[in-house]
């Protein structure tokens, strides 16, 4: 049970994009929101925006690829608030050199450390508190690329996002007996700053047709609003104007 009605959410990648939108929506729903990310200035801006709207938010800078630092932030949240009810793993990156022809091991390792190991580190860090509560929700932001293999995201990104899906389902298999649940949120193209890292960034008219960060913010808040006996195992969501469909030639007999 949530003590005194207080609900505490920790959001990584909270300084921009999906994480920022999720933080704003959760705060509007009355959650105490802790945003983490590598850029303190961006986090502070999100906190100020939430506060101006009457919400409660805090910034705790963090590189999710450093396991010890992840644990320190999780412990600090529990020390301040006594609980963690929701973890949103939204931190993620991609790199421009993402083809087999030009990919570099440095880029591969960076994606694995942040997109996959960072997710695991955060899940592991909140697990003791959630087990004590016998209640807790984790939302792992994966990707359409974590369900459908395509060339554009590149092998490293696609592999890490497939692994996040497996990690999420594995968590539910083990932790459902403790009242815990996890959702793998797999969006198609979202108009976020990460798209600037693409070899050919989308044009403005293409960005306007994509999912917007606030669409995912609403989705995160919806999953978080459901009662503890409900587990939304996976959400696959895409723009109606889906470039993956449009660019695929019709099959011929």
Active-site residue, 157 included: yes
155 contacts 100 by C-beta, under 8 angstroms: yes
For 95-135, the DSSP string reads: -S--STTT--HHHHHHHIIIIIIHHHHHHHHHHHHHHHHT-
Query: What is the spatial distance between Cα 10 and Cα 178, in angstroms, rounded to a whole number?
Result: 20
* Tokens 């109606």 found at: 240
Question: Given its phi and psi angles, is residue 246 left (phi above 0), alpha (psi -120 to 50 degrees) or beta?
Answer: alpha
CA dist 3 → 82, 104, 175, 178, 236 (Å)? 9, 48, 21, 18, 32
Considering the candidates 115, 157, 159, 175, report the single residue annotated as catalytic: 157
Query: What is the spatial distance between Cα 168 and Cα 159, in angstroms, rounded to a whole number?
Result: 14
Token readout for 217 is 């913010």
Query: What is the spatial distance between Cα 50 and Cα 33, in angstroms, rounded to a whole number?
Result: 9
Active site amino acids = 157
């Amino acid at each position: 049970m949530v003590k005194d009605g207080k609900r505490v959410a920790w959001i990584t990648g909270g300084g921009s994009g999906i994480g920022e939108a999720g933080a704003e929506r959760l705060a509007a729903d009355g959650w105490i929101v802790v945003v983490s990310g590598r850029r303190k200035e961006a986090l502070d801006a999100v906190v100020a925006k939430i506060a101006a709207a009457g919400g409660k938010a805090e910034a705790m800078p963090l590189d999710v690829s450093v396991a010890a630092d992840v644990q320190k932030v999780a412990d600090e949240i529990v020390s301040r608030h006594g609980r963690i009810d929701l973890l949103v793993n939204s931190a993620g990156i991609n790199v421009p050199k993402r083809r087999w022809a030009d990919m570099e091991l440095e880029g591969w390792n960076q994606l694995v450390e942040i997109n996959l190991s960072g997710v695991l580190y955060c899940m592991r860090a909140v697990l003791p508190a959630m087990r004590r509560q016998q209640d807790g929700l984790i939302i792992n932001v994966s990707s359409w690329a974590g369900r459908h293999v395509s060339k554009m995201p590149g092998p490293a990104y696609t592999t890490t996002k497939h692994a996040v899906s497996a990690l999420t389902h594995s968590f539910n298999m083990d932790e459902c007996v403790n009242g815990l649940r996890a959702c793998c949120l797999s969006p198609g193209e979202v108009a976020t700053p990460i798209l600037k890292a693409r070899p050919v960034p989308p044009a403005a008219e293409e960005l306007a047709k994509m999912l917007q960060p606030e669409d995912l913010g609403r989705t995160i808040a919806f999953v978080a609003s459901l009662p503890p006996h409900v587990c939304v195992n996976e959400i696959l969501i895409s723009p109606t104007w889906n470039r993956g469909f449009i660019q695929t030639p019709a099959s011929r007999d």
